[in-house]
Amino acid sequence: MTEGEMLKLSVEEFSRLQQYMRLIEKDSEAYKAMKIRYIELRVILSSSGINLTELDMIKE
């Protein structure tokens, strides 16, 4: 897998994950578990030079 393909998948996962996070209660265990992955993806994308300003709907 190329770096470009990996970034594409990460952006898609980040977007999809945020959609799921917006559908559930913030105090639920599922949200807390998703937030861990949300943070991981933010780190991956930020360190890859992706500007998250437009992508980040959760902003936590």
Burial of 41 (0-12, 13-18, 19+ CB in 10 A): buried
What's the pLDDT tens digit per position in 15-32? 999 999 999 999 999 999
Q: Per-residue confidence of the chain (60 residues) as pLDDT tens digits? A: 899 999 999 999 999 999 999 999 999 999 999 999 999 999 999 999 999 999 999 987
Nearest to 6 by CA among 47, 60, 34: 47
Whole-prediction pTM: 0.89
Sign of CA dihedral 50, 53, 59, 60: positive
Query: How confident is the prediction for the chain on average, in pLDDT?
Result: 94
